[in-house]
Structure 1
Amino acid sequence: MTLSKSEIRKEILRVRGEVSPLALKEYNDTIFNKVISIDEYKESKLMFIYVSYKSEVDTYRIIRHALGKGKRVCVPKVISKAEGMVAVEIKSIDDLRKGFQGILEPEISEKNIVINENDIDLAVIPGVAFDLNGGRIGYGGGFYDRFLPLLNEKCGKVAIAYNFQIVPEINVEKNDFAINCIIFN
């Protein structure tokens, strides 16, 4: 029997919420080291990356590392459910404030400008579950399914996840956007 997307989402979120902080730290260390060692990361100049929330794979360390290496970093800023999100450049983690659903995001300003999606050369994508064919289950809002097609075709689209978020198969629908690569512990 194949589970629906909502059933997979519910189960993976339950499991993710039960992992011990010590195990998450170990998993996050492994994923961080894998991300910073891939060519897509090393060669990127303008990276789009989500800001981790609750039990998601930690992105703060990746963001700090990228900024420390002189990379330009942009993160999601939700405009509205109808309008979706944009990529906004940040100079520091300190540029982030609570936004949509309590997730940290930047304010748009002279310092934190909206980035043309076509200029992004690496996108690090969140999700609840993934399969090894590029299938992805997000949180159900469709924000990334609308944003990802705006990226240029040369942009690396990398998901980061814990190993228990990898499932055998995801029933991909026409509006779902596939990712190129999954990095997991």
Structure 2
Amino acid sequence: MMDKNTLRKLMKEKRKNIKPDIRKMMDEQMYNNVINSNLYKNAKTIFIFVSYNNEVNTHNIIKQAIRDDKTLCVPKVISKESGMISIQINDFTDLEHGAYGILEPKEYCSKINPKKIDLAFVPGLAFDKNGGRIGYGGGFYDRFLKLIPKNCPIIGLGYKIQIIDEIPMDENDIKLNNLITD
């Protein structure tokens, strides 16, 4: 099995090499798969990452969730030590570029108790069919996901090309309940 850092490098390159027109079609399919899922339809408070770089585009999912009157919260990184928190946004314009260049909620947005989240969508560089996920290596999501209710579905969002046979997991890695792809 490949080590995590080699896997990260390989998967970043693979994702970066998706042609723009193909990526657009894949993102539209992802959007439809999310919005039409029962998990989404039944959720009241959704936690979702704001896509960055070559990640699955979540911007339209976020805008739709707001139109659908879902309580929508997104991550805000506090620090490497403190991790991240969930912040409610009521409009896409509540986002601005944060410390890592990623869109984050503006200062006036309210913090949401992670215990209120009933559906969580998380990014990843690679996924397997056993709930394994590999992120960017900071541990931000794994630490945050320990704070949400145990029965809250944790769903990875990734392209089919990001699925591999097996992810090397350790004791701090949180498993996904499901994966939605294009």
Q: Which of the five TM-score ranges fits, normalised by the shorter chain?
A: over 0.9
Q: What corresponds to 1:86 in structure 2? A: 85
| Number of equivalences | 182
Match of 2:174 in 1: 177
Q: Structure 2 residue aligned with 1:137, among 131, 134, 144? A: 134
Which residue number in structure 1 is paired with residue 116 of structure 2? 119
User: Aligned partners of 1:100 and 1:71: how far apart in 2?
Assistant: 27
Unpaired runs of at least 5, structure 2? none
Q: Which amino acid is the alignment partner of residue 59 of structure 2?
A: Y
Give the structure-2-normalised TM-score: 0.98
* Residue of structure 1 in register with 2:60 after alignment: 61
Q: Report the Cα offset of residue 171 of structure 1.
A: 1.4
Identity across the alignment (%): 45
Q: Which runs of 4+ in 1 moved over 6 A?
A: none
* Matched AA of 1:164: I
Across the aligned residues of Structure 1 and Structure 2, the Cα RMSD in angstroms comes to 0.8
| Cα pair 1:47 1:121 within 8 Å, conserved | yes
Aligned 8 A contact 1:108 1:114 in 2:
no
Alignment gaps of 5+ in structure 1: none
User: 1:150, 1:16 → 2: CA distance?
Assistant: 30
Query: Shift of the alpha carbon at 1:107?
Result: 2.5
- Which amino acid in structure 1 is aligned with residue 122 of structure 2? I
SS at match of 1:101: coil
Q: Distance in 2 between matches of 1:100 and 1:124?
A: 21
> TM-score w.r.t. structure 1 length?
0.96
Matches of 1:136 and 1:156, distance apart in 2: 14
2:159 is equivalent to residue 162 of structure 1: yes
